[in-house]
Amino acid sequence: MSAERYEPRDPHGRFRYGPWRGGPDPLAAPYDVRAAIDKIGADVLSAGNVRDSLRELLREGLDGRGGLDRLAEKIRRMRNAARKRGDLGGTLDQVRAALDQALASEREALAGDESDDARFAEMELDTLPDDVAGAVRGLDAYDWKSPEARQTYEQIKQMLQREVLDAQFAGMKQALENPDPEAMARVKDMLADLNQLLAKHARSEDTTDAFAEFMEKHGEFFPEQPETVEELIDALARRQAAAQRMMNSLSPEQREQLGQLMSDALADADLASEMAQLGDNLRALRPGLDRGSDAGMRPGGESLGYSDAVEAVAEIADLEALEAQMSQSGYGSTLDDVDVDLLEQRLGHEAVRDFQALRDLERELEEQGYLSRGDDGMRLTPRAVRRLGQTALKRVFDQLAASGNGDHADHRTGSADEPTGLTRPWVFGDELPIDASRTVANSLRRRALHPVEEGGMLLDVEDFEVTETERRTTAAVALCVDLSYSMVQDGRWGPMKQTALALSHLIETRFRQDALQVIGFNRLARKLSPVQLAEAEPEWIQGTNLQHALLLATRHLRRHPDAEPVVLVVTDGEPTAHLTGDGGARFQWPSTPETIRATVAQVDELARFGATLNTFMLGDDPGLSRFVDAIARRAGGRVFTPDIGRLGEYVVSDYLQARRGRR
């Protein structure tokens, strides 16, 4: 269904509707779920796994929409731009410029003073350390003669204090723009209350009311307006980690000088104590944050103050986190792991819309029953495998039609019996199908001859008739598929699995009376359900144990003694393994007479049971060619050498022809 646009009433009071012209159709599905499962299935059948296939689909997108790769590329560009934003050592440059201005004003004032005190002060200024931090610390006890110089120096200390606090609290710089004792007292009260709140949270106490009271009292310092204690801790720890990474990005000399300046800025003992306690609390509550690496920022650009530099590093950290979340590289990771609020903050609403469409696709695949999530990750469901079988079977029928072998796409379902065209009255215990038309006709005839009173029975037991049938010949089919690694190396893995699923779907939907067992074999053989077959991944195991596969096929046929036995073998190599007396498998290449004898003995067992053994030989292995020709003559079967792209056509066509022959 597509959206329509509502237009206001016309003068006659009627509504008018027309095609939607307001951008993307708001009612259109973001993705075609069945097309998505087909794409995932194609990857899985071609030796992939569900988790990697789903991740690849989400990375690439579908239906012309961008996937995670497009979002990740945008994040990388923004991260690289952030790394070029400016010089992290800008605070040192700002302090140096202000300090030079203060010293120049002071020297000018001293030059006009002829006293010995002025000369002594000049000597004191001449002996100041060359580094910025040392000079600022050396002037802490200096008796300034110039009021302008004194004011500039005080502004340096106030600026440093604001930068340190604003680096930890995003709203602090505005709060302390015009500092006074009362403003600093409010900051200290906030820090004390904050540390009490975090300590209470660390003890796993209920902090709901305490947090609400804290935000009501000190919300001005937190422009992010966190809604829970966890969000508050996340915001503070993020900025603390960014500050440490920013310091790590500086040169050793810059790091030492800036560290001294920051330490001097917290000269107030109470303030320094509360800030140190806050740092300890945040490290304990969020120990996993990256505090040890540098931000990778490159010199150049504008000069950034301390708090601006910390914010720039925090942005880089956010983008790095988003990039890691988008990679979906962690085991069991899903799109629910992506921080949508952070994505919107950094990339905007359009990016969130594209991402949510991807997340909706992932959820729809689960909610519609195509994928299931377990302890071992994502798995295909039986519904998904039926969809893959349906798609594979349709492809086979299209090939059959194109090759002139007729259209086999008969959509009638199979049944266990063939109608004879005769009917008879129903008797207790009958399981034959009811003939609805004859039953209704009997009811009408009876009521015409013997009218019933109002409320009487419309149908009576004597009205029912059933359709007589005769038993249809059924088949027990064993499809043995080679799972050796050579099937993957030569590109035969996907067609082999698609063929098996197509045949399974054909029997399940149209010939339900037939019994199919898929048997996979390499060094050992095993029975496979359609889901297990679809999810089977290549194993680096040498060996082609056809003997074991035929043994399991024989057991399957014996469970259906009244069915016609049919065995189909798809392989690309001669037998190189057989079962030993202890139940293990012995492998040797090239094939040994012992392995051949064991396999032929199992072929003879099938022949005695009356089974038809048809082999679909892939590749041009001379040894395999000699072997399959020999067993075909021995068991009365046939050998096919199909092109790999037509394997499904050959197998399904052979099965259908065999059914027509049985009828």
Q: Specify the 3-state DSSP secondary structure of 607.
A: helix
The dihedrals phi and psi of 412, each to the nearest 5 degrees, come to -75, 140
Q: Which residue has the tokens 């016309």?
A: 10
Taking the CA atoms of residue 257, residue 261, residue 262 and residue 264 in that order, the dihedral angle to the nearest 10 degrees is 140
Whether 71 has a pLDDT exceeding 60, the answer reads yes
DSSP-assigned states of every residue in 40-54: HHHHHHTT--HHHHH
| Residues of the chain above pLDDT 90, percent | 4
Q: Kindly state the average pLDDT of the residues 552-558.
A: 93
Token output for 325: 């979340």
Q: How many CB atoms sit inside 10 A of residue 435's CB?
A: 20
Predicted local distance difference test score (pLDDT) of residue 506: 83
Per mean pLDDT, which range of 54-63, 404-413, 472-481, 507-516 is the poorest? 404-413
Whether 527 has a pLDDT exceeding 90, the answer reads yes
Predicted local distance difference test score (pLDDT) of residue 493: 80
Q: Which residue has the tokens 């497009």?
A: 70
Predicted local distance difference test score (pLDDT) of residue 358: 81
Q: Kindly state the average pLDDT of the residues 124-152.
A: 83
Which residues lie below 8 Å from residue 43, measured CB to CB, with a gap of 6+?
52, 53, 56
Q: Which residue has the tokens 């910390």?
A: 310
Helix 306-327 to helix 229-249 angle, to the nearest 10 degrees?
110
Token output for 521: 């074999």
Which residues lie below 8 Å from residue 449, measured CB to CB, with a gap of 6+?
none
Q: Kindly state the average pLDDT of the residues 301-308.
A: 63
Contact 510, 413 (CB under 8 A): yes
Predicted local distance difference test score (pLDDT) of residue 456: 57
| Residues of the chain above pLDDT 70, percent | 76
CA–CA dist 234, 612 (Å, integer): 69
Beta bridge partners of 461: none
Contact 576, 568 (CB under 8 A): no
| ∠ Cα 200 206 210 (to 5°) | 70
Whether 362 has a pLDDT exceeding 50, the answer reads yes
Rama region for 495: left / alpha / beta (φ>0; ψ in -120 to 50; rest)? alpha
CA–CA dist 298, 88 (Å, integer): 9
Which residues lie below 8 Å from residue 447, measured CB to CB, with a gap of 6+?
458
| 411 pLDDT tier (thresholds 50, 70, 90) | very low
Beta bridge partners of 423: 467
Predicted local distance difference test score (pLDDT) of residue 126: 84
Q: How are beta strands 585-587 and 577-579 bridged, if at all?
A: antiparallel
Contact 324, 75 (CB under 8 A): no
Per mean pLDDT, which range of 54-68, 301-315, 365-379, 417-431 is the poorest? 301-315
CA–CA dist 377, 372 (Å, integer): 8
Whether 86 has a pLDDT exceeding 80, the answer reads no
| 632 pLDDT tier (thresholds 50, 70, 90) | confident
Predicted local distance difference test score (pLDDT) of residue 403: 62
Q: Kindly state the average pLDDT of the residues 86-112.
A: 79
Predicted local distance difference test score (pLDDT) of residue 556: 93
Predicted local distance difference test score (pLDDT) of residue 508: 82
Q: Kindly state the average pLDDT of the residues 199-222.
A: 88
Predicted local distance difference test score (pLDDT) of residue 5: 47
Whether 620 has a pLDDT exceeding 80, the answer reads no
Q: How are beta strands 515-521 and 475-482 bridged, if at all?
A: parallel
Whether 561 has a pLDDT exceeding 70, the answer reads yes
CA–CA dist 26, 8 (Å, integer): 20
Predicted local distance difference test score (pLDDT) of residue 406: 45
Whether 418 has a pLDDT exceeding 70, the answer reads no
Whether 619 has a pLDDT exceeding 80, the answer reads no
Regarding predicted confidence, which is higher, 445 or 242? 445
Whether 392 has a pLDDT exceeding 80, the answer reads no
Token output for 537: 């991944």
Beta bridge partners of 566: 477, 612
Rama region for 598: left / alpha / beta (φ>0; ψ in -120 to 50; rest)? alpha
Whether 88 has a pLDDT exceeding 60, the answer reads no
Q: Which residue has the tokens 């057991």?
A: 555
Q: Specify the 3-state DSSP secondary structure of 61.
A: coil
Whether 605 has a pLDDT exceeding 70, the answer reads yes
Q: Kindly state the average pLDDT of the residues 19-26.
A: 59
pTM of full prediction above 0.85: no
SS (H, E, C) 243-291: HHHHHHHCCHHHHHHHHHHHHHHCCCHHHHHHHHHHHHHHHHHCCCCCC
Q: Specify the 3-state DSSP secondary structure of 55.
A: helix
Q: Kindly state the average pLDDT of the residues 280-285.
A: 87
| 339 pLDDT tier (thresholds 50, 70, 90) | confident
Of 590, 513, 506, 585, give the one whose Cα is nearest residue 547: 585
The dihedrals phi and psi of 268, each to the nearest 5 degrees, come to -65, 120
| 1 pLDDT tier (thresholds 50, 70, 90) | very low
Q: How are beta strands 377-380 and 371-374 bridged, if at all?
A: antiparallel
CA–CA dist 626, 171 (Å, integer): 83
Most confident of the following: 283-287, 319-323, 326-330, 376-380? 283-287
Q: Specify the 3-state DSSP secondary structure of 620.
A: coil
Token output for 645: 């792209």
Contact 231, 73 (CB under 8 A): no
SS (H, E, C) 457-471: CCCCHHHCEEEEEEE
| 296 pLDDT tier (thresholds 50, 70, 90) | low
Token output for 151: 């004011």
Whether 209 has a pLDDT exceeding 80, the answer reads yes
Q: Kindly state the average pLDDT of the residues 521-542.
A: 84
Per mean pLDDT, which range of 24-28, 198-202, 339-343, 566-570 is the poorest? 24-28
Q: Specify the 3-state DSSP secondary structure of 17.
A: strand
Predicted local distance difference test score (pLDDT) of residue 114: 80
SS (H, E, C) 387-446: HHHHHHHHHHHHHHHHCCCCCCCCCCCCCCEEEEEEEEECCCCCCCCECHHHHHHHHHHH
| 8-state DSSP, 88 | T
Most confident of the following: 393-397, 533-537, 563-567? 563-567
- Residue 590, preceding bond cis, omega within 30 degrees? yes
Largest CA distance in the chain: 143
CA-CA-CA-CA torsion sign (309, 311, 317, 318): negative
Helix then strand then coil, % of the chain, to nearest 5? 55, 10, 30
Regarding predicted confidence, which is higher, 401 or 230? 230
Q: Kindly state the average pLDDT of the residues 5-24.
A: 57
Q: Specify the 3-state DSSP secondary structure of 196.
A: helix
| 610 pLDDT tier (thresholds 50, 70, 90) | confident
Token output for 583: 């139940």
Which residues lie below 8 Å from residue 45, measured CB to CB, with a gap of 6+?
388, 493, 494, 497, 498, 501, 534
Which residues lie below 8 Å from residue 364, measured CB to CB, with a gap of 6+?
31, 33
Predicted local distance difference test score (pLDDT) of residue 344: 81
